[in-house]
Amino acid sequence: MNILLFGPPGAGKGTQSAFLVEKHGMVHLSTGDLFRSAIKNSTPLGLEAKKYSEKGQLVPDSITIGLVEEKIKDLKKTSFILDGFPRTVPQAEALETLLKTNQLKLDKAIFLVTPNDMLMSRLTGRRVCEDCGTTYHIETMPPGPGNTCTNCGGNRVIQRKDDFPEVIRTRLEAYEKNTAPLKEYYKAKGKLVEVKGTGEVKEVYERLKSAIS
């Protein structure tokens, strides 16, 4: 089962992907993670992506599609989750070509339905481990004492630079303008499945499990 997990920033895509990786052995492809890693390592791609992502804007399609093109070959052997790509209709069209070229198929496009008024608090409260990428939330899933990571034991659990209110607002606007139209796109292809993203993390996971079984 190959899926796309999409929805607004803060919907819980990364959190749920971690469960699917752990419990179902799926491979996770997150363009957000790839961009952050490139930025951390100051690669040419990272330097370019940083200009956009630090402001909460989408990285241009040509750069993003090029990045996925390099990675898509790695998805051949197991079920995969696309998280955060595609985020625009041109990216979705490019994905179709890339999948076809690699004899791969997307089975379902799962939209995590999360009310707008929840997104700001989810995002401002998000903390991430710089070492292993584990995601926390200051209220619902707090890190260990002194901002330590309960997964890898590191002490670099931080707030992402784009998880501050002003940048979040830009990201939510970019989502409405560019990514929300993907719902219609995948509906027309008969691939859209809507899953409620509210309630406990485990409840959402149970719903997702039913959606992919």
User: Where in the sequence numbering do the catalytic residues fall?
Assistant: 13, 87, 126, 160, 171
Task: State the Cα–Cα distance between residues 2 and 109, nearest whole angstrom.
Answer: 9
The site for ligand ADP (CB under 6 A) is made up of 9-15, 31-32, 35, 52-53, 56-59, 64, 84-85, 87, 91, 122, 125-126, 135-137, 140-141, 162, 171, 200-201, 204
**Cβ closest to ligand ADP, residue 13 vs residue 108:** 13
Q: How many residues does the structure list for the chain?
A: 213
| Residue 192 Cβ vs ligand ADP, minimum distance, rounded to whole Å | 17
Task: State the Cα–Cα distance between residues 208 and 24, nearest whole angstrom.
Answer: 12
Task: State the Cα–Cα distance between residues 82 and 28, nearest whole angstrom.
Answer: 6
Which of ligand ADP, Zn ion, none lies near 1, with the C-beta cut-off 5 to 8 A by kind? none
| Binding flag, residue 152, Zn ion (CB under 5 A) | yes
The DSSP-derived string for 128-160 is EETTT--EEETTTB--BTTTB-TTT--S-EE--
Binding mask 118-147 for Zn ion (x = CB under 5 A): -----------x-xx-x-------------
